[in-house]
């Protein structure tokens, strides 16, 4: 039987004001897995009321208490791993290993945020005025609007709320309609159980048809002082524009078209394994997924043949089967979009190196094909032979995106020199494109967004630095 879920406002589970609900479907079976409360803009206002009211209390909570709550939440989340494995299989088609990784990284994000709570909040400055004490002091902003996507739901909802809360803000979180529980209600439940005061974190779930109205109500509410959005570049533009119109700072974590460069001296075993992981982990549905493999032409044939053989052997299908490596894509719309990108390329002359039913490797692609430039966000990758390092850099940079890149070479000096020329927010020398650590700055350049989560960067993004002077006696 399907679960029934509520909005989470002011520390309580409540139905939508007008009583509406929406169905959340299992992407593998197509069955309704949860009946979810569907917020309207009036519910958003209620959630912001609660967050605004909780702000004074939460921002005044002592650092040690705040830290203890975040640390407790990390432990509570880990203790729920078996439940999260079942939830992520049913809600987003995630395999057990991906769900376990979501819990582990989310718990570590909470711990990293807890560590940030007791760091200094400012600096003592020099001053032109004799006897004066001049300080730069970091302070919370108020209510933060947070948007989390479905693809790494536990990680990205935790990331969306942990740094804002650690900095003393309160939050209204709007999860993706494809993961209302794993990208929203779960982390609220865990933090509440860990002792977070009522109203400090509120969650509004919605029907997909209301996404624009709910998002608009949230971002434009005058009490909301900052925004973070993780999702597609297309919706990110809308959210970023709204935030800018209302002069609110925003962290935007958007799509990628990430390149993996395989240089002529790369270790081929490592390259094949790394490319397989980078392209097909979570069925290629990671913002950092390797979308394009740019391989030196002298090794292209051997690399591509071995990659295709490995990819073709990956078990795909039912995410609850422990042997499955690649689960389903999130929904029919996404599956259709990925097939369309592949089919269009094949009919324009690209070569399909796998069966076409399941994980897909293509070569003989050309820049006029959409799959060459558009984010795939599914279990497919293109391999492009390049004549030299310059051509690899040129292709890697010839995209509107700029999230991450990987460079595989045995020569670190050469790898670093290339890394400097690639325009992305993240680059890995000697590894593929997918990696995330809570203490590192995470974010893109160009159309992949702006602002950074992670470490002190995340906390600073949701803080204002105030100049305070105290006159000498």
- Residues interacting with ligand NAD, by CB under 6 A? 147, 149-151, 156, 174, 176-177, 211-212, 215, 230-232, 235, 238-239, 253-256, 287, 375, 377, 403, 444
Give the CA radius of gyration of the chain: 23
Beta-carbon count within 10 A of 277 CB: 15
Cβ atoms < 10 Å from Cβ of 250: 21
Q: How far apart are the first and last CA of the chain?
A: 71
- Smallest separation, CB 214 to ligand NAD (Å): 7
Shortest CB 68 distance to ligand NAD, Å: 28
Residue 253 falls in the annotated catalytic set: yes
The rounded distance, in Å, linking the Cα atoms of 370 and 375 is 9
User: What does the CA dihedral 360, 365, 370, 375 come to, rounded to 10 degrees?
Assistant: 50
Residue with smaller CB distance to ligand NAD, 14 or 211: 211
Beta partners for residue 383, in sequence order = 293
DSSP 182: I
Give strand pairing partners of 124: 135
DSSP-derived letter for residue 358 is: S
With respect to ligand NAD, which residue has the nearer C-beta, 72 or 248?
248
- Which one, of 215, 219, 160, 225, lies nearest residue 191 by Cα? 160
Q: In the complex, what is the shortest distance from the CB of residue 435 to ligand NAD, in angstroms, rounded to a whole number?
A: 12
**Closest CB to ligand NAD among 125 and 212?**
212
Shortest reach from residue 149's CB to ligand NAD, in Å: 3
CB of 210 to ligand NAD, least distance (A): 8
Q: Is 100 exposed, middle or buried (0-12, 13-18, 19+ CB in 10 A)?
A: middle
Determine whether 318 is exposed, middle or buried from the number of CB atoms within 10 Å of its CB (0-12, 13-18, 19+): middle
Q: Out of 91, 177, 189, 253, pick the active-site residue.
A: 253
Three-state secondary-structure class, residue 447: helix
Length of the chain: 473
Question: Min. distance of Cβ 223 from ligand NAD in angstroms?
Answer: 19
Catalytic residues: 253
């Amino acid at each position: 039987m399907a679960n029934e879920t509520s909005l989470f406002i002011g520390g309580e589970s409540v139905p939508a004001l007008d009583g509406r609900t929406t169905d959340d479907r299992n992407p593998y079976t197509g069955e309704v897995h949860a009946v979810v409360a569907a917020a309207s803009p009036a519910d958003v206002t209620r959630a912001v009321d609660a967050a605004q009211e909780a702000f004074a209390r939460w921002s005044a909570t002592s650092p040690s208490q705040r830290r203890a709550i975040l640390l407790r939440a990390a432990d509570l989340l880990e203790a729920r791993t078996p439940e999260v494995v079942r939830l992520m299989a049913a809600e987003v088609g995630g395999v057990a290993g991906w769900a376990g990784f979501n819990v582990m990284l989310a718990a570590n994000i909470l711990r990293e945020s807890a560590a940030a709570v007791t760091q200094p909040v400012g600096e003592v400055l020099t001053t032109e005025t004799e006897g004066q004490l001049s300080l730069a002091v970091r302070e919370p902003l108020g209510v933060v609007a947070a948007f989390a996507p479905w693809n790494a739901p536990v990680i990205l909802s935790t990331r969306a709320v942990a740094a804002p809360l650690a900095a003393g803000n309160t939050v209204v979180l709007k999860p993706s309609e494809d993961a209302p529980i794993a990208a929203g209600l779960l982390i609220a439940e865990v933090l509440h159980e860990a002792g977070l005061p009522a109203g400090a974190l509120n969650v509004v779930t919605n029907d997909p048809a209301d996404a624009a109205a709910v998002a608009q109500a949230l971002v434009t509410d005058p009490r909301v002082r900052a925004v973070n959005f993780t999702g597609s570049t297309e919706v990110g533009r809308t959210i970023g524009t709204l935030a800018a119109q209302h002069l609110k700072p925003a962290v935007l974590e958007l799509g990628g078209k990430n390149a993996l460069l395989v240089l002529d001296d790369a270790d081929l075993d490592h390259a094949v394994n790394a490319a397989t992981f980078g392209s097909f982990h979570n069925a290629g549905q990671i913002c950092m997924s390797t979308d394009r493999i740019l391989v030196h032409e002298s090794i292209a044939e051997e690399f591509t043949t071995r990659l295709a053989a490995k990819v073709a052997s990956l078990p795909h299908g039912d995410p609850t089967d422990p042997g499955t490596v690649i689960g389903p894509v999130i929904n029919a719309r996404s599956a259709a979009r990925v097939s369309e990108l592949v089919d269009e390329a094949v009919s324009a002359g690209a070569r399909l190196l796998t069966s076409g039913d399941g994980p897909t490797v293509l070569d003989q692609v050309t820049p006029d094909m959409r799959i060459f430039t558009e984010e795939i966000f599914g279990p497919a990758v293109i391999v492009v032979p390049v004549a030299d390092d310059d051509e690899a850099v040129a292709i890697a940079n010839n995209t509107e995106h700029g999230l991450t890149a990987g460079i595989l070479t045995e020569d670190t000096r050469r790898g670093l020199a290339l890394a400097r020329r690639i325009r992305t927010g993240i680059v890995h020398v000697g590894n593929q494109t997918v990696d995330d650590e809570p203490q590192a700055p995470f974010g893109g350049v160009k159309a992949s967004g702006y602002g950074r989560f992670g470490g002190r960067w995340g906390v600073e993004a949701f803080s204002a630095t105030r100049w305070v002077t105290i006159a000498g006696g």
